[in-house]
A and B are shown apart, each in its own frame.
Chain A
């Protein structure tokens, strides 16, 4: 029975092989491949945030937007005209209007993001080329701006994301720009991505090559020459593990301002358009391991820490011309849930979860000079502190000494800082700020400029000591006094350097101060002689006077990273901090 039953089965199998087996195999293979691909897609998408539109969030954002930017909300009741654009800080929010119907929502770092194409009233495009704005062809611009709205704790923050693609990526196909969104970049995308607030202030930016982030873009410090700079190489520091390749370029933004009739609901009929340009210098840096430089094959450079808040605004140069154009980005292609190259806004603490925070805010123990360097770099990356130093830097041109107090609100500090308004005595060699140690205002740093370029003076060092004698601080208890003595800073900003001095031994500072008060003229003359006898080395002069009772940290571009400098074999030498 068993054998008999097998026989017809065999016969059946033998009846069809010549005709069906190849087709069957192909069909099965196709089905299998489709299954595998589908399974992979499902698996991939299951790791992404759901692509379901969060309509409630979009409606809330729309309400916020209409309340925040009433000028941009169309009011079509009268036949009149309104001018859109202009060179002022409203240029961005007046030029770009969210295309709400094309909103895309997702969640990153537990924050709700809304990505919207930007409808443009007038036009705007960024470019590496600087041409007459009258001849600039917006339809062949290599940039595309979209809008990103982030909801954090119920508050909305809006950014303009401008993708400026390389010609090599576009290869003449300008529609490729729209393939790239906040979360997705084409595999062969090469170009820059800039984030601006709607007041036009720069937030951060990224350099992409072949779809990967390879560099960090910051606004160049005023006066930075364009061109390549390699930092870290060829310095007399042993064990340099990596170098930073930086390139500063000037980017031109072309603007077109138009007038529209108020009843032109969709801004379809612009008139009286004129074009102008603004320029900004950006520095793009990537960190390259030392072994990978010097030609030949090299690994992809890794971007340096983006957790900085760059300074000043771009200059504006209005130029007359005529033209207009509108283009819409489609931000819909699915993307990665944690995209590289996103917004890093220190001011609003958005996208900063991966910023390294070396700040030991409640640490009252004494750090080594190298340990303190990490703390200083962390503090100097804080948006408020960076803003203070930038404001001070920008006052150098006045040839007046300005000062800003940097303070935290309550002890122990939580990493947030507040800054005072700039203060000046309207002279070139001194400024009096308002150190205090009360709830709401614990001064931890005094940033001030030396407009003529001289480095920190003995009086600067002694202000550290004198402020430690503040009655409130003395009465605040050992923990707070220790915190001040271990972390208190005096920042001196000059055209070429920024110096930060901390106290390392307040007992020595006290004895030095007694000498200083006993014969201030002689003390200062000794400092002058040391400066003059050492080719204008202020740091060396101070270290010869104060020895190890102070630490001196310096940056040559007015922002982190700082370096610890010490006196080694009579030479001011960068310490090799791990």
Chain B
């Protein structure tokens, strides 16, 4: 009986481990929220175009996922040192471009999660929403940034997903 219970628990743990979706990043370790599944890189463009009229998701990155109406992507970025700017300096320019592009900006703020600062901002056009995040550049001039795309009715779920994602994201240093 004892060995049966042990076996069941072991099986459950391994199933759980198998369902953990891996994400590639040199900047952060991240555990993706439950219910996340991978979109193969070769399928991302078709998946996005099937579900949305337009997208801001780049198709040349490593991490593509979906979760109940959300499409998620994030990636590492690196800049030369002279371009290592504080998020506080980056934020106004980003918002200016959105305004220039006639996007409806729902919010924009800088938050700190697990000791990491993030600029998060959300804008929408034609009932389709982009929820973006970008971390502060680290001392090696690297950051992690990404976008969650969803339709307006999924807005609350999208924001909750981002909250969970960032709460499970830790800088590697």
Contacts and interface: CB of A to CB of B under 8 A. Distances in A.
Interface of A: 234-236, 428-429, 450, 452-455, 457, 494-496, 521, 524-525, 527-529, 531-538, 556, 571-574
Nearest to A536: B90
Contacts of A429: 96, 99-100
Given A525-B101, A533-B56, A574 B85 contact: no
A240 B133 CA distance: 36
Q: Which are the 7 A-B pairs with shortest beta-carbon distances?
A: A452-B96, A454-B93, A453-B93, A454-B96, A536-B90, A529-B56, A452-B92
Contacts of B89: 453, 495-496
A45 to B, nearest CB: 51
A573 B80 contact: yes
B95 to A, nearest CB: 7
Given A528-B103, A537-B79, A455 B98 contact: no
A300 B132 CA distance: 51
A508 to B, nearest CB: 23
A573 B80 CA distance: 7
B134 interface: yes
A259 to B, nearest CB: 49
Given A453-B89, A457-B100, A524-B101, A536 B94 contact: yes
A162 B99 CA distance: 49
A571 B80 contact: yes
Interface of B is mostly: mixed
Contacts of A537: 79, 83
Contacts, number: 91
B35 interface: no
A531 B93 CA distance: 10
A455 B89 CA distance: 12
A235 B81 contact: yes
Contact of B77 (A494, A521, A535): A535
B155 interface: no
B127 to A, nearest CB: 16
A534 B93 CA distance: 13
Given A531-B97, A538-B93, A556-B82, 20 more contacts: A236-B80, A428-B96, A429-B99, A450-B93, A450-B96, A452-B96, A453-B89, A453-B90, A454-B92, A521-B101, A525-B101, A528-B56, A528-B101, A528-B103, A529-B56, A532-B147, A535-B137, A535-B143, A572-B80, A574-B82
A525 B54 CA distance: 10
A532 B94 contact: yes
Contacts of A528: 56, 97-98, 100-101, 103
B93 A455 contact: yes
24 contacts: A235-B81, A235-B82, A429-B99, A429-B100, A453-B89, A453-B93, A453-B96, A525-B54, A527-B101, A528-B98, A529-B58, A531-B94, A533-B58, A533-B147, A534-B77, A535-B77, A535-B79, A535-B90, A535-B134, A536-B90, A536-B94, A556-B82, A571-B79, A574-B80
A454 B91 CA distance: 9
Nearest to A234: B81
B101 to A, nearest CB: 5
B73 to A, nearest CB: 9
Contacts of B56: 525, 528-529, 532-533
A538 B78 CA distance: 14
